[in-house]
Structure 1
Amino acid sequence: MTDRIDDVHAGTTERASRTQRDILEVAIAEFAANGYAGARVDEIAARTRTTKRMIYYYFGSKEGLYLAVLERAYAQIRLVERGIRIDSLSPTEALRRLAEATYVHHTTHPEFIQLVSIENIHRAEHLRRSETVMRENVTAITLLEEVIDRGVEEGAFRDDVDALDVHMVISAYACFHVANRHTFQAIFDRDMLAPELQDSHRRLIGDMVVATMTGSRG
């Protein structure tokens, strides 16, 4: 009897987790498309075949759902970074892999860039309330610090550029492709996310960052 109760409980827990994941996937698209103010919880409920009441049961409020969306969006890129075995790579190759992986993630997850843009409009007032995002994002810098410190010790990297500078350069390049895609195409007639350009653009950010860290000071 105990085993049967445990099985039922496990099944219920798994269904609840699956429902929350489904809600978050739809909510990411809704908030990215319409912003915090414009997003409708009723629309999210309808698209997930659940109820507004159930969403509030899981996430507490619209803001609670939005914070969960931000946490999930940032967790995905941090997971990509942690998946790179930097300890088995040379500093130069590890830096290149981190830069290229960030580019691939950002250009294949445009909703992430849209959410970041929305938070910038709101001066990051919601993001600052998430201890999870603040804690998780530290790893983006610590990974780069580890790679850069190793490269400096080996004499491969310059020692006057810090991890935050490198992170900024990588993020700026990757975000630009998504955030400015349509205006850039209208002005220059080039779609920066065209499939035939992705390999060269991915290699370019790797080349840029490696060249910066291995080049001489200006």
Structure 2
Amino acid sequence: MSEHRVKRDPEGTRHRILEAAISQFTKMGLAGARVDAIATAARTNERMLYYYFESKEGLYVAVLEAMYAKFAALEGGLDLSGLQPAEAIRQLATSIWAYLRENPQWLCLINNENLHAGRYLERSSRLRETISPVIDLLRVTLERGAAAGEFRQGIDPLDFYVTLISMGYYIVSNRFTIEAFAGRSYAEKRHQESIAAMHIDMLLSYLRQVSSSVNSRHDAAERDVA
């Protein structure tokens, strides 16, 4: 029994350190977070923190990797294959936006890393692996919609994904300033539902739009010939 506990303890210690670090980095940022506070909250010592993560910066990168991996696992775990393309996009969008609302600490970490110009995320060798399955899932959905004549052709899945993410991201990350200058709280469910419905309509309208720009260029060419 004791041998079994010893085998499990390193992973448990590492997990506790990560959880404590998430709290510290969310509240204090990389510069303000204290290694001793993280170790105390994790019920361990600083030596173990350095053993597993080498440095405070190494721990910060590990926290970012863990948060991105958790987010990507949620998205990649969605089964959209049995849904009509438009409904699949709706499910993907609402799932992502709900996650952002329910995990504002993740946005705090992203905002903090953007202050560092993303240089710590660049150290990660695993980060880009987490997004590939999500983009592939979206690519397949867009291709199904195009094949069925429901969506336009040639939509870049990464551009669409970034657009979809940004819609939900802004509402959560700027919720306090929005309320301050506009007087509307997007922490309230009714406002969340209202703007989410608007965003979904906008996304689907774009997907369903038969390229009007192509038609306009075609009409202009015919006028030139005439």
- Structure 1 length-normalised TM: 0.90
Q: Does 1:19 align with 2:13?
A: yes
Question: How many angstroms apart in 1 are the aligned matches of 2:44 and 2:105?
Answer: 23
Q: Match of 1:84, SS?
A: coil
Q: Does 1:127 align with 2:121?
A: yes
Residue 20 (structure 1) shift? 1.8
Name the larger-Rg structure: 2
* 1:26-81 deviation digits (Å, cap 9, x = unpaired): 21121122211111111111212211111111212111111110011101111111
The DSSP-based 3-state class of the residue aligned with 2:197 is: helix
Kindly state the Cα deviation for residue 8 of structure 1 after the two structures are TM-superposed: 4.1
Letter in 2 for 1:11: R
Distance, in Å, in 2 between the alignment partners of 1:204 and 1:26 is 37
The residue type paired with residue 182 of structure 2 is: F
Which structure ranks higher in relative contact order (CA pairs < 8 Å, sequence separation ≥ 6)?
1
1:167 alignment partner in structure 2: 161
2:27 aligned with 1:33, yes or no?
A: yes
Whether 1:48 and 2:48 are equivalent positions in the alignment is: no
What residue number does 1:197 align with? Answer: 191
Query: Partner residue of 1:107?
Result: 101
Does 175-184 or 197-206 show the bigger shift? 197-206
Query: Distance between the aligned counterparts of 1:146 and 1:9, measured in 2?
Result: 47
* C-alpha RMSD over aligned residues: 1.7
Identical-residue share of aligned pairs (%): 35
Conserved? CA contact 1:99–1:205, under 8 Å = no
Deviation of 1:13 (Å): 2.9
Q: What is the CA-CA distance between 1:9 and the residue it aligns to?
A: 4.1
Structure 1 distance, partners of 2:49, 2:73, is 26
| Aligned counterpart in structure 1 of residue 79 of structure 2, from 80, 85, 94 | 85
Which stretches of structure 1, 4 residues or more, deviate above 6 A after TM superposition? none
Q: Distance in 1 between matches of 2:48 and 2:187?
A: 38
The answer to whether 1:154 aligns with 2:186 is: no
Q: Please, which of 210, 214, 224 is the counterpart of residue 216 of structure 1?
A: 210
| 8 A Cα contact 1:100 1:205, kept in partner | no
- Contact 1:84–1:98 under 8 Å retained in 2: yes
The structure 1 residue matched to 2:130, chosen from 108, 122, 136, is 136
> 8 Å contact 1:45–1:51 — kept in the other structure?
yes
Cα separation, 1, equivalents of 2:193 and 2:73: 22
How far, CA to CA, are the matches of 1:24 and 1:197 in structure 2? Answer: 34
